[in-house]
């Protein structure tokens, strides 16, 4: 009897199993010869890194910028596909819990620009997108805000996440810091990601980021711009950025058409053609000035206008600290580049020295150097009176060799760096870090009654030279 029951049970199980397989098999059926690979996005199969290139209804490439008055306003840009025809920002004072969403949310409509481009040079597909740009004013100084961007609807899936950012203080003597990056340019996703993420890991409370040009290599490449935004990810949306264009953002004296749709920079420069590339920002007790070095170097009328404008800005400057940033070095570092950009150097250096700017921050030479024309060599920990301190740096992996020159306090090759610059009252501290957190260069500048002194704090490590890595 027991044997009969067991056999009957097995037979039933086999019957049920066969029936189930027959009933479910049509779900997995395929036409003859069909290649089954679990990918329903067939239209994008042929485009590598399509997530970095194509927009969707959900905001991407969200980036926060400093405005002319960062103590009471912010500027934000983002991208969607063309189906999203309007953009909005919601912003409120952040709270310990989610209650900031219940009341007090400010809603501002963005300007929306339809844009399409195709980088045939890089064999990229046509990309069609709407870019959204908004400036929010009337904010409180030194306050943490939560904001998000989206299409304005009720569906939270079509909004970004909530980001936090802090407005600048309205007190001149409050401490602040920013990060200075030289050229990212090449292998941005692969190699620059580690640097910008390391900078954030080490200094998450930094107040803004400064990019000295050549953010990417090919000005119209949606893939390269996608890699740049991917590398910084949410950092771009929480730490405000300022940037100045390099020669790789230009071609034949024309700025990439992607610059103004995807960035949202001040429009207070001397000419329409250098709008959002030449501008000035007052950040607490710092006068921060961007010059469009490529336009400056290539076009006489732009050079004349920018020099005149710079002189006028500096002649009425009441800030204790002044920093100028541009792509081309005023003092060349890389081998065989002394003769480059001579018209720019000849026109610009007299103005810099006339007003004794504190910092001139540049890129382009794919190597590192820092020093002052008026320095007196006193060793790695020496103290000297100084005029303007010049720096040339590189954050990406493309490297050139440099030439040792008298103005340099510290020099380096074959090294990726970011610089953290901190200012409080009469003291400015500058430190250059590698992606793994090692300090490669450092100095402290003090300024009392217009008199400046630099105290070198260079680590006792050997200078890195490219020849040592061949």
Tell whether 183 and 129 lie within a shared domain: no
How far, rounded to the nearest angstrom, does the alpha carbon of residue 126 sit from its chain's CA centroid? 25
Higher pLDDT, 134 or 24: 134
Tell whether 254 and 210 lie within a shared domain: yes
Tell whether 95 and 216 lie within a shared domain: no
Q: How far apart are CA 184 and CA 195, in angstroms?
A: 9
The predicted-structure confidence for 443-462, as pLDDT tens digits, reads as follows: 999 998 878 999 999 999 99
Tell whether 349 and 281 lie within a shared domain: yes
The predicted-structure confidence for 236-274, as pLDDT tens digits, reads as follows: 999 999 999 999 999 999 999 999 999 999 999 999 999
Tell whether 87 and 223 lie within a shared domain: no
Q: Which of 120, 138, 166 is the last residue of a domain?
A: 166
Facing residues of 443 across strands? 430, 456
Tokens representing 272? 């329409």
The mean pLDDT value of the chain amounts to: 90
Tell whether 233 and 378 lie within a shared domain: yes
Tell whether 98 and 139 lie within a shared domain: yes
Q: Are 59 and 80 in contact (CB under 8 A)?
A: yes
The predicted-structure confidence for 376-413, as pLDDT tens digits, reads as follows: 545 566 677 888 999 999 999 999 999 999 999 999 99
Measured over the CA atoms of residue 228, residue 231, residue 234 and residue 240, the dihedral's sign is negative
* C-alpha closest to that of 321 among 168, 165, 173, 108: 173
Question: What is 5-38 written as a DSSP string?
Answer: HHHHHHHHHHHHHHHHHHHHGGGG---TTPPP-S
Q: What is the mean pLDDT of residues 291-318?
A: 97
The predicted-structure confidence for 198-248, as pLDDT tens digits, reads as follows: 999 999 999 999 999 999 999 999 999 999 999 999 999 999 999 999 999
Q: What is the mean pLDDT of residues 100-118?
A: 95
Q: Does a structural domain hold residue 297? A: yes
* C-alpha closest to that of 245 among 235, 237, 256, 236: 256
End-to-end alpha carbon distance in the chain:
85
Q: What is the mean pLDDT of residues 29-44?
A: 48
Question: What is 388-432 written as a DSSP string?
Answer: -EEEE-B-SS----B---TTEEEEESS---EEEEEEETTEEEEEE
Q: Does a structural domain hold residue 40? A: no
Residue 202 half-sphere exposure, CB side, CA atoms within 13 Å? Answer: 21
Give 336's pLDDT tier (boundaries 50, 70, 90).
confident
Tell whether 358 and 464 lie within a shared domain: yes
The predicted-structure confidence for 405-441, as pLDDT tens digits, reads as follows: 999 999 999 999 999 999 999 999 999 999 999 999 9
Q: What is the mean pLDDT of residues 104-125?
A: 94
C-beta atoms surrounding 302 within 10 Å: 21
Q: Does a structural domain hold residue 69? A: yes
Domain of residue 142 covers 50-166
**What's the pLDDT at 159?**
98
**What's the pLDDT at 42?**
56
Tell whether 356 and 242 lie within a shared domain: yes
């Amino acid at each position: 009897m027991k044997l009969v029951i067991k056999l009957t049970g097995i037979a039933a199980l086999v019957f049920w199993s066969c029936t189930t397989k027959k009933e479910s098999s049509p779900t997995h059926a395929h036409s003859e010869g069909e290649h089954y690979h679990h990918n329903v996005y067939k239209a994008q199969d042929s485009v590598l890194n399509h997530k970095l290139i194509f927009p969707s209804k959900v905001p991407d490439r969200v980036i926060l910028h400093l405005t002319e008055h960062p103590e009471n306003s912010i500027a934000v840009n983002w991208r969607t596909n063309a189906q999203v025809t309007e953009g909005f920002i919601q912003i409120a004072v952040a709270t310990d819990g989610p209650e900031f969403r219940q009341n007090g949310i400010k809603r501002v409509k963005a300007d929306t620009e339809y844009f399409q481009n195709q980088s045939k040079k890089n064999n990229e597909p046509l990309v069609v997108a709407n870019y959204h740009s908004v400036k929010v004013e009337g904010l409180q100084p030194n306050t943490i805000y939560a904001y998000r961007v989206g299409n304005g609807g009720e569906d939270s899936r079509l909004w970004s996440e909530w980001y936090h950012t802090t407005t600048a203080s309205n007190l001149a003597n409050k401490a602040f810091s920013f990060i200075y990056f030289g050229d990212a340019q090449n292998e941005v996703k692969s190699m620059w990601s580690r640097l910008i993420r390391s900078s954030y890991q080490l200094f998450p409370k930094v107040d803004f980021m400064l990019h000295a040009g050549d953010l990417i290599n090919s000005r119209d490449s949606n893939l390269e711009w996608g890699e740049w935004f991917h590398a910084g990810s949410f950092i771009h949306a929480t730490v405000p950025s300022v940037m100045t264009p390099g020669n790789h953002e230009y071609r034949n004296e024309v700025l990439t058409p992607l610059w103004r749709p995807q960035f949202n920079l001040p429009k207070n420069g001397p000419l329409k053609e250098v709008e959002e590339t030449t501008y000035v920002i007052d950040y607490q007790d710092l006068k921060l000035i961007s010059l469009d070095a490529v336009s400056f170097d290539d076009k006489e009328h732009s050079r004349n206008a920018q020099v005149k404008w710079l002189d006028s800005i500096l002649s009425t400057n009441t800030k204790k600290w002044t920093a100028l940033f541009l792509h081309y070095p005023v003092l060349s570092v890389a081998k065989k580049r002394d003769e480059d950009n001579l018209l720019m150097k000849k026109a610009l250096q007299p103005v810099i020295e006339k007003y004794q700017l504190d910092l001139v921050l540049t890129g382009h030479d794919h190597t590192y150097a820092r020093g002052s024309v008026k320095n007196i060599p006193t060793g790695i920990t020496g103290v000297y009176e100084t005029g303007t301190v010049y720096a040339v740096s590189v954050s990406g992996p493309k490297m050139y060799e440099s030439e040792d020159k008298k103005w340099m306090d510290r020099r380096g090759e074959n090294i990726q760096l970011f610089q953290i610059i901190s200012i409080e009252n009469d003291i400015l501290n500058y430190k250059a870090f590698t992606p793994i957190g090692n300090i490669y260069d450092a100095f402290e500048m003090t300024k009392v009654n217009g008199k400046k002194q630099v105290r070198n704090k260079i680590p006792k490590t050997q200078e890195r030279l490219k020849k040592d890595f061949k």
